[in-house]
Structures are given as C-alpha cells and as structure tokens.
Amino acid sequence: MTRTAPMMELDKQLLQPGVKGLPITAPLRQGDIGARRWNVLNADTSFPVALLKSSALEHNLQWMRGFCERYGVQLAPHGKTTMSPQLFDAQLSNGAWGMTLATVSQTQIAHRYGVRRVLLANQLVSPADIGAVLTLMRDDPSFEFFALADSSAGVARLSQMAQQSGIERPLPLLVELGLAGKRAGCRGMEEALALAREIAAAPGLELAGIEGYEGLLVSPDRDKDHEQVRHFVAQLSDLLRQADAERLFKRSEILLTAGGSAYFDFVASGFAQVQDLSRPVLPVLRSGCYLTNDHGFYHDLIEQLNTREGYAPGQGLRPALEVWSMVLSRPEPTLAILGMGKRDASYDMELPRALVSHRPGAGLPSALPEGCRIEKMNDQHAYLRLPEGHAIAGELAVGDLIGCGISHPCTTFDKWPLLLAVDDDYTVQRAINTFF
Amino acid sequence: MTRTAPMMELDKQLLQPGVKGLPITAPLRQGDIGARRWNVLNADTSFPVALLKSSALEHNLQWMRGFCERYGVQLAPHGKTTMSPQLFDAQLSNGAWGMTLATVSQTQIAHRYGVRRVLLANQLVSPADIGAVLTLMRDDPSFEFFALADSSAGVARLSQMAQQSGIERPLPLLVELGLAGKRAGCRGMEEALALAREIAAAPGLELAGIEGYEGLLVSPDRDKDHEQVRHFVAQLSDLLRQADAERLFKRSEILLTAGGSAYFDFVASGFAQVQDLSRPVLPVLRSGCYLTNDHGFYHDLIEQLNTREGYAPGQGLRPALEVWSMVLSRPEPTLAILGMGKRDASYDMELPRALVSHRPGAGLPSALPEGCRIEKMNDQHAYLRLPEGHAIAGELAVGDLIGCGISHPCTTFDKWPLLLAVDDDYTVQRAINTFF
C-alpha cells in the first residue's frame, strides 16, 4: 500500500454539516472543497476557522530539508504536533526518514495512513499498547518501530511480551537519557549504560540507539539553555560511544536522536561530530513545530535560531497556522467579543495574537495597531481589547473578521478535526484532516 | 426521526485502531464494546482513558430533574460541555426542555442526532451561520431555534437574511443583557429595551424573550458574587416586565433564561418570582456542567450550592468524569511520569487531581495520600509529585495506574472523541461519542 491510497480515501469521505469552519448545509465530498473557491476574506467559510498557509508550509518543508542536508542529519518530525495524514505525507515526501510519535494510538493512526517507520519518543508500558505494537510488527513486515526505555521494570515487561508474541524480529529500543528534575529518562550515565546492557541481553529486544530530549531545557535564560543543551548533547554522544565500545549495538546503524523545535541546531551540530564508531551512526532530529512554526513561543525561539544560523530576515521558518474569527459583539468602546475560544486556539503558553482585521468584501486585511490584544478566552469566546482613542476602536464592527496567530501549534491542531489550506489570497484549496 | 435512530447508527459504526483509550488492533463495532467486559482496573483498556461513571451520571440527571421541578423551571442544558449525542439524549429523556449550544456547527451536530429545540446562547452573526440556521428551520418544521441579539447591526443582518430566505416563520430572538466589563450583551436597561423594540418591529424576526449569563460573575469573593447575581437576575426580570408592558412579545410564552453551573439556584429562585405578565413566562436554566460535575472548580462551587439548598453530604451532584493513566517512568524518588497530558485532561482552571493509585490485577484502588499532586503537564505527559518519605514514593511502580479527577469538564470532553462509560467496578459498559 502506498501512502497515497489512504489519502485519497480521505478526499472521498462525505463531510457532514457541523464540521467547524465548513459553511455547508448538506454533506460535501472532501475532495470537492477546492472547487468551491471559498475565500476567507469574503467570509465564505464558517467562523472560527483554522487556516494553513500553503506557501509557508511549502517554504518550511524546503527549509528543513535543506537544514538537515547541510548538517547530514535525518528528520523524524514529531507527528503529535499535527496528527495529520496529509502533513505526515508532505513531510515524508520531503525527505523525512520517518515519523516520531508520542503514543501507540498515534502510531496506529499513522500506520493506517501509510507511515512505515515510527520512532515512539516515549516509554512503552501498558499491556494493550505493547500488544498493539507487536501486532503491527507481526502483521506488517515493512513496518519499522523504535521505542524508548528508562527502567529495568519496563525492559522486563517488553522482553516478556515480545517473547510471548512469537514475532521473529526483535523489538528495537533506545535508552532514554534524562535530565535531573525533568521528565522520563535514566538519571546519569551509569544507570543508562547499565540499562543498555540489560536491553542488549534481553530476549526479544535489541538495542537500537540512544535518545534524549533537550527541549525540556528551554527556559527564559537562553544563554544558560545553550550551554546546558550542548552539554546534554555531548552526554548523549558519550553514552553512545561507551555502549558502542561494549559492542551493545547489533543493528547495521546506531540511532542517535534528540531535537525539539527550539534548539535543534545545537543538536545537529553536536551529532555531526559523532564519528569513528564500530558502525555507522544515524543522527535523527525530531522537531514537530518547524512545519507550521507559530506567531508566539516558537516564533521567538526560531528567530533566535535563524540568527545563529545566519538566515536573513524572512528566510527562516514562517508561521503557517492562523485562526480567523468574527466580531460577534462590540459591547464597550474598547472591547470586541470574538467567536473563538479555548475550543479553537492555544492558550497554554500564551493567548492568540490578533494580527489583522478585515471587513468582508472590502479590500485587504489591515494590520491591527499596537495595543490590540486578546486579553482573555472563555470556552467559545475571546475578548479583544482595543486601544482607547485609536481609530480602530471606533471602526471595528460586528461582522468584521480578526485573523490571529497562535502560540504552540500542538494545542491548536488538537482543537480542529479539519483545517483548511489556503493560498496567499486566502482562497481555500483543500482540507487537512487531523486525528486526535 | 426519533432520537434513537441516529444513536443506533453510532453503535453500528466501526471504530478503527487508534481511538484513544481503546485496546483494539482491528476494527470493532462500537455497540460491541460492552460485550468485551474490559475492566480498567485490570488495565484492559489503553491508557490514558477518559471514563464516565454511569451511576454518577444517573444520579446527577435525577438530581437536576428534581431541582427544576422544585423551582418550576425548565432546563436547556448547555451542550457545548459534552457535545455528546448520547448525553444529549439522556438529558432530553430526563425532562430537559431543549439543548443550549454555543455555535451553529454545534447546532448542526445536535440536529443531526435528533435534538429538535436549540437555544443558541450566542450572537448569530456570520452569513454562513445565519444561512445554516435558516436552512435547518426551512427544511425541518419541527426544529425550534432561538438566538441572542445585542446590537442593531446584528438585528439588521438577521432581519435581512431572514426576509431573503423566504421562510414563513420568523426567527425568534432573545435580547442579551450583559454586564459592564464582561462579555457580550446590551449594557444597561435602556439599550436593551431599545433593542427589544427593534426586534419586535423587524420583518422576519420575533422577540422571544430575555437572556443573561450570570456565570461571568463567578469570582473568589462568593458573598459579593451572590449579591451581584441576585441583582442581575432582578434586572433580567425587570427588563422582561418592561418589554411585556410594551407588548413586545408575541409568542404564546415569554422565555426568560440564564443559569450557568455555579449559581443556578439564585437564578431559579429569582425566576420563580416573575409572575403576572401578559402571557406565561417560561424560565429556562442552562447549566452544562451539572451532568458530570468535576473534582475541582465546579465541585467546590456545587458543594456551596448543596449547602445553600440543604442537601446532605453525598446527596448533591457527584463527579462523574475521570481520566486514568499509567505510570510510564519513576525517574526520581518523588517523581512519577504519567502518560496523560494537555491532550487528555483540562489544564485551564487547574491541573488534574490525582485521586487513587492502583496496581492492575491487585485488589482495589487506594486513595493517594496528601501531598501527591500533578504539578505540571506537557502535551502528552503529567508530572506526579510524591510526598518525600511517604510509603507511596517507594511503592508506586512503572505500570501502576493513577485515577485523576479533572477541573472544568468542557475542556476535558473536547480532548476525547470517545469516552467510556463504566460501572462502579470500572467495567466498561459502552462508548460515549463526542463531536467537536
């Protein structure tokens, strides 16, 4: 099965009235969306609506491909960000080595839509999950899967279930090296190396590599972050060297993986220095947010990365995800109520950023002046505060549109079963499905 | 069409591997879930999993029915909380007058699953949304719909589109009375009364009643809240009297509606005093969170309501919604990492409350001691802090289960396309679908 076939099935499905963003009153074949030529600036869609700018997505796909080629690293982008078959397909078609995922449910969905190499950047613990993975590996010999391990208890479970499953090929594991006070992962080199030996010796398992996640080190003190990330990447490389010196790796290549969406340049440059081992090393980055970037938390981090990497302004990653909503009420001179809430846009890192206003059918969107900001969201509403005395406070009317950027794509994607890809004129091109 | 037919369609659908919480590796007919006799305490399901305790749901349905009967008020529970056809059905079967919803997308979904009376507790503004509502009203004469209005601009739009639609029956509107500094709604009685006159005179529209939302007054100062809520309810009643004195209402009954999930007792007792108008008044509460309650924000508010209403402990509303997850890692003596994150449980009002731990197959769950608390969540992980020196810190192991209560059901339901209803022994009875 190619990846294309299940994607075509998605376009054949009948979308029912009630899918957020779609202005339909009767079922519509998903693949017919583009032919409708809906334009957001004409208020042809329903609101709120989540939009992906195709040109920014395309740019970011190319950018990341070039970045990885430059450093000689592979990419297994974190699919939990979007959980979108069409976006997974675009990433794999643009050179991604595989997909990273966080759960076995996500893995099952990715497999259904044609993904054949999954790096589970998580511990694999529950019996149902272990069983589901072993079933996929048994039923589909082309399916490659890697999971993390950080405890003897976890390794013992996996070894037992892998043996009981009767599958011939071993289950490949990576030792997770953690960080004191942070999330999962072995605390310290000794513990990690001991676990590597256990995995190498465990029936039904094989040691495939070393994993860490430097993204947990992001803090307001960037200089300190950089130093700690470099140190952590060096530790991962050391651990790999030591395990290799003991000949614990048996596969043809040794996986070495880290790389969130903030400091993947430090990871790439650190990994590029790992050489002269008993067998080839496969360095794999796992950024999930590069694809859409954002207008908030990751935008700021990526601007700093662009500077470090020497990209000119506008040549780095571009924000691709916007949520548009309508002004429902102008109850007070400096307050507009929008039909967009916690159900529609991220609020975990910061609230959405109001970028532009637009009166449907009237020219082009206008950048909102300084001082216009979303100050609060309820479940289904946002409170847009307007600067006192500014013209916008008098002009913005019920029925006008507000285009917002968001901060943290992962927590916006999971609010939309379907997003709309648009061209630079905000004409809707096609649907992008998600499965959360 | 009865409400039962579309519900049966849901039970006929084939669930695919990858639906969160389901331990399946091949498609499963939804209606066959109960026959599997999965037990959460045996770790038969996948984790994380969202559970609804059937006995608590049933108790809360009966409780609210009794409450409304006692005060002589109707209930149009806010469906945005759960967006679940099966739960809408349970509410309507237990005496609810209709469903409240927040958006037209939600209205289309509710209509698809047999809801025939919708109170849109929101402004109706976008052309696509207005068109969709008018289409439903045209195509289904049995569908009753009410929306809010708070501006002349909004009323003019609605009047124009209602006239153009050629529908014979008018679109019923309620004037929304707002609160200074809060969300939508007319600011002050004069403005609201003027808008009521505009609606009464507008072709294609009819004035159906008066609406407000006292839930915006919830603050840490409960005594002040109570005074303000009573005052606001009195204002709503006054507005209704004044509009009635001008004979602006033409329908057989006048709708008077308010009532979130915190102070609906003040609303009910206030509404009960509205008498001697030109025609009967239909007082309608709109609480959404009564059905599941929670272990956080609403639990505390409801405990206070229970005291005001004279319910004995345990006789008030009960928390019905839990999220269970597995311990994936025990990286440090006082830290456990759970496979549950921002994708799985509410975090907007407070983080989930860790209630019990359980070793699959070993007896019954144990209440967690004081000091065990979720201190942080990432997208897919929670950080459970354990009290230093307590036995639990030594005992809790990889593979153990943690049962959590949540705070704010609306933002947990929207993270689960499918929840599992369980009996008091945590045996899975059936699936509960949601449509967000």
Q: pLDDT digit string (tens) for A120-168?
A: 999 999 999 999 999 999 999 999 999 999 999 999 999 999 999 989 9
Which two structure tokens, joined as six digits, stand for A105? 């449910």
Which two structure tokens, joined as six digits, stand for B114? 């047999």
Q: Quick check: A268 contacting B, CB < 8 Å?
A: no
Question: Residue B227: its pLDDT value, please?
Answer: 96
Do the chains contact at B46 and A329, CB–CB below 8 Å?
no
Chain B partners within 8 Å of A332 (Cβ): 180-181, 187
pLDDT at A1 over 60: no
Q: Quick check: A394 contacting B, CB < 8 Å?
A: no
pLDDT digits (tens, 9 = 90+) for A318-335: 999 999 999 999 999 999
Chain A partners within 8 Å of B396 (Cβ): none
pLDDT at B1 over 60: no
With beta carbons less than 8 A apart as the criterion, state whether A417 and A18 touch.
Answer: no
Do the chains contact at A44 and B135, CB–CB below 8 Å?
no
Q: Quick check: A286 contacting B, CB < 8 Å?
A: no
- Cβ-based neighbours of A255, under 8 Å, separated by 6 or more: A119, A146, A174, A208, A209, A210, A211, A282, A284
Q: What is the mean pLDDT of residues B390-418?
A: 97
Which residues 68-87 of A are in CB contact (within 8 Å) with B? 80
With beta carbons less than 8 A apart as the criterion, state whether A432 and A87 touch.
Answer: yes
With beta carbons less than 8 A apart as the criterion, state whether B208 and B182 touch.
Answer: no
pLDDT digits (tens, 9 = 90+) for B315-365: 899 999 999 999 999 999 999 999 999 999 999 999 999 999 999 988 999
> Within 10 Å of residue B308's Cβ, how many Cβ atoms?
13
Which two structure tokens, joined as six digits, stand for B277? 């108008």
With beta carbons less than 8 A apart as the criterion, state whether B353 and B345 touch.
Answer: no
What share of chain A has pLDDT > 70, as a percent?
100
Do the chains contact at A23 and B435, CB–CB below 8 Å?
no
| Nearest residue of A to residue B410, measured between CA atoms | A379
Secondary structure element (H or E) that encloses residue A413, with its range: helix A410-413
| Nearest residue of B to residue A157, measured between CA atoms | B399
Largest CA distance in chain A: 73
> Within 10 Å of residue A339's Cβ, how many Cβ atoms?
27
Question: Residue B5: its pLDDT value, please?
Answer: 84
- Report the alpha-carbon distance of residue A279 to residue B257 in Å, rounded: 72
Pairing of strands B418-422, B401-405: unpaired
Q: Which residue has the tokens 């933002």?
A: B411
pLDDT at A2 over 80: no
Q: What is the mean pLDDT of residues A225-250?
A: 97
Q: What is the mean pLDDT of residues B40-47?
A: 98
pLDDT at A344 over 70: yes
Question: Residue B2: its pLDDT value, please?
Answer: 62
Q: Quick check: B88 contacting A, CB < 8 Å?
A: no
Which two structure tokens, joined as six digits, stand for B19? 């639906």
State the average pLDDT for chain A: 96
Q: Quick check: B343 contacting A, CB < 8 Å?
A: yes
Q: Quick check: B203 contacting A, CB < 8 Å?
A: no
State the average pLDDT for chain B: 96
- Cβ-based neighbours of A341, under 8 Å, separated by 6 or more: A377, A378, A379, A380, A381, A382
Instruction: For B276-391, list the strands marked E by DSSP.
Output: 281-285, 321-332, 335-338, 353-358, 366-367, 373-377, 382-385
Q: Quick check: A402 contacting B, CB < 8 Å?
A: no
Q: Quick check: A385 contacting B, CB < 8 Å?
A: no
Q: Which of B173, B180, B129 is nearest to B147 (CA)?
A: B173
With beta carbons less than 8 A apart as the criterion, state whether B60 and B287 touch.
Answer: no
Q: Quick check: A126 contacting B, CB < 8 Å?
A: yes
With beta carbons less than 8 A apart as the criterion, state whether A322 and A405 touch.
Answer: yes
> Within 10 Å of residue B25's Cβ, how many Cβ atoms?
18
Question: Residue A312: its pLDDT value, please?
Answer: 86
Do the chains contact at A183 and B381, CB–CB below 8 Å?
yes
pLDDT digits (tens, 9 = 90+) for A45-82: 999 999 999 999 999 999 999 999 999 999 999 999 99
Handedness of CA A71, A76, A82, A85 (dihedral sign): positive
Count contacts between A and B (CB, < 8 Å).
220
Question: Residue A323: its pLDDT value, please?
Answer: 98
Instruction: For B31-110, list the strands marked E by DSSP.
Output: 49-53, 74-75, 99-101
What string of DSSP letters covers B4-44?
HHHHHHHHHSEEPTTSTT---SS-EEGGGTGGG--BGGGT-
Amino acid at A169: R
> Within 10 Å of residue B135's Cβ, how many Cβ atoms?
17
pLDDT digits (tens, 9 = 90+) for B49-105: 999 999 999 999 999 999 999 999 999 999 999 999 999 999 999 999 999 999 999
> Within 10 Å of residue A97's Cβ, how many Cβ atoms?
18
pLDDT at B404 over 90: yes
| Nearest residue of A to residue B329, measured between CA atoms | A184
* Confidence band, pLDDT 50/70/90 cuts, at residue A362: confident
Do the chains contact at B47 and A136, CB–CB below 8 Å?
no
Question: Residue B160: its pLDDT value, please?
Answer: 98
